[in-house]
Amino acid sequence: METLTKRRETMPGPHCRIQHSMRGIRCLLFGVLLAVACTSVAAELPGHFTSIIFGCRSENLADFESFARRAKQSGATHIVITAEDLPWAAWQMDTPGDPYPAWAMSNVGLLKVSPPEALKSYLPGDYSDLVMGILRSRCAVLRKLGLKAAFTTFEPQILPERVYEAHPLWRGPQVDHPLRSRVPRFAPSIDNPEVLALYRESVRKLLAACPEIEILSLHTNDSGSGMSWSGGLYQGPNGSSLTRDKKMYERYRDFFASLQSGAADARPGRLEIDAEWVRESTPELIAGRLDPGMAVANLEGPGATPYKADAGFLLDYFYPFYPAQGIPVPVRYLEELEEASKSAAPRLFYLIGDRFNRDLYLQIYDTFAANPTQDDVSRLRLLRSIAAERAGEPGASALLDAWLAIDRVQRDTDILNFGGTTFYIGSVQQRWLTRPFVPFPEDLTEQETMYYRKYQFQARSEDRARDLGDMQGTRQYQGLGGWAVTNKLFVRMISELNRARADLRTIGETAGADRKPRFELLDARLRVFQILVDNCRDAIEFQYRLDIARSGRLRRPVEFQEDLTDIPDWRAIRDVARREIDNSSVLIDLLQSQNAPLIELAKTREEENIRVLGPDLVDQLRRKVKIMIAHWEDYKRLFVDEESKEPKFTTIPH
């Protein structure tokens, strides 16, 4: 029987998934499963994968080693050593009020962690020493286990302005997002031979310390990185005017060659490099001029053939429920794995960003490797077999149904993903979860805003910062249309989450004492995500109704009207605010009732940042509620002053 170690081709898109099903059709399908279970023949996997790369976030070195050992049992040849579990470069947040480096500080960066001598005086040595120490330890583990390493980063990555003041010709393209930054940020120019020498030295030092690194995956033109004169840059093609006419294939080829030369300086053996997120208009033309082991947009030179196939994700950015934690997406993983198994690429990446369900994804991988799926029926059959092992036969169908409901929820989160899901760039990066919803936010004092305002991703005006609908400089869900469409999706998500939670209660009725706590914890995590869904729903609706009220369309009725004390439009916005108060109170109770992680929090108050909520979340939620109650009477000020609006008649002369 062949294993998954032997197969693949290029992935077409983020995730191809099974379509929504009516309940009756699903029941009929389960009947079909039973009928074909004994006669279905699994497809054979052609054996061509030469490298299988596993990755998962680790809490410490022991956790990293445990994962690496288990991944090796599944056939892994390489382990990613640079998940978002390395220390973040908080020093890159060097300009008060400028949020843009928040997207870069989690990315290790070659020049940041392995600085060449010429940059050491500009970069904090304690940061690079700390990160390099972790990388050395991880590679030592891999060396002991007979495994190799993969290194992921964003390049060429921004450097402090002081570097370019001292070395003006090193300045490359401006790479910040124009709506999300307050100061220009520049990546180094890889057209400059001196910059290429810096990268060569950096890689030489890195691989001298970590010779196990054989695969280097770069993201570019995003998150504080970019290639000179690339059409994929946020600011449009730009860079040093001295090298404007250089061909793009030459830039990638020369950059990759410098990195590979640094590797050759450190140890024998090849370094394979690919660049993702390039957004080049004709990547196949660039790839056609590259050497083997070099790739752009998943096209490897010189034949522009598929470089790798991947399933899963590592970055929190791609986790559909962030900041909620521990909600599994087995349907997505299986579908992506099946699609990956059709690839002709020689490398497979299997990435586990949801570390709390690591064993589930490894089980899916191993089960698929033994019996590959090829359609809806075989996928459901495989997932049900795993569900039976985890919940027992009596609860297997209920667990499968819960997984399918969760899958439908995460599909809807994809619809609300514009530079990040609404939960990530709304609840976290705009601090919807912790900031008070009040009718006159401009009246809040500095003492009332200081605990959340500094963590908002907002590079424009204070008026925009006070607007709940402003997300990273854009108003994606503005007005009636924005509220109406998102509300339908949020309501549908809540319905599916309720269904999944009902399934978990069904499992609990038959699960043994050893299994029951696992499903109770998953129920709590789904409840937390429901609260996040409600938080986003409340924020968008509150701003919509506030815009209406403050545009002068909310009028107090005349005194003799029966609805004097119940004014629907006025009641509607206060109902949203009350929902949010109660929502916050429920989250407080949940967080206090569970020791297991339910939501991603910084370990210390100093580590709270734009992308990660603080460890004192409960206190911040209490503060939010207190401020909202303190400003409850402010809703009366929303009424149009009828007296000032009365028409003034002019006296007509006789």
Residue with tokens 């249309």: 481
> What's the whole-number mean pLDDT along residues 381-389?
98
Going by the DSSP 8-state scheme, the letter that residue 88 receives in this structure is: P
Q: Angle at CA 462, nearest 5°, toward 459 and 466?
A: 105
- CA–CA separation, 477 vs 51, rounded Å? 43
Q: What is the DSSP string of 302-348?
A: TTTEE-EEEEEE-SGGG-TTTTB-----HHHHHHHHHHHTTB--SEE
Residue 47 banded pLDDT, cuts 50, 70, 90: low
How high is the mean pLDDT of the chain?
90
Plot region of 637 (φ>0 → left; ψ -120 to 50 → alpha; else → beta): alpha
Q: Is the pLDDT of residue 40 over 50?
A: no
32 within 8 A of 328, measured Cβ to Cβ: no
Which residue, 57, 115, 60, is CA-closest to 89?
115
| Amino acid at site 37 | A
- CA–CA separation, 256 vs 271, rounded Å? 9
pLDDT tens digit string along 131-156? 999 999 999 999 999 999 999 999 99
- 344: how many CB neighbours lie within 10 A of its CB? 13
Cα-based distances in Å from 76 to 24, 344, 353: 40, 18, 17
pLDDT tens digit string along 250-289? 999 999 999 999 999 999 999 999 999 999 999 999 999 9
Q: Is the pLDDT of residue 31 over 90?
A: no
**What integer pLDDT is reported at residue 26 of this predicted model?**
42
Single pTM value for the model: 0.89
Q: Is the pLDDT of residue 600 over 70?
A: yes
Residue 568 banded pLDDT, cuts 50, 70, 90: confident
> What's the whole-number mean pLDDT along residues 294-304?
98
Plot region of 473 (φ>0 → left; ψ -120 to 50 → alpha; else → beta): left
Q: Is the pLDDT of residue 333 over 50?
A: yes
Q: Which helix (H) or strand (E) holds 456?
A: none
**What integer pLDDT is reported at residue 35 of this predicted model?**
38
- CA–CA separation, 219 vs 297, rounded Å? 10
The domain ranges of the chain are 1-87+293-378, 109-281, 410-642
What percent of the chain has a predicted confidence (pLDDT) above 90?
A: 83
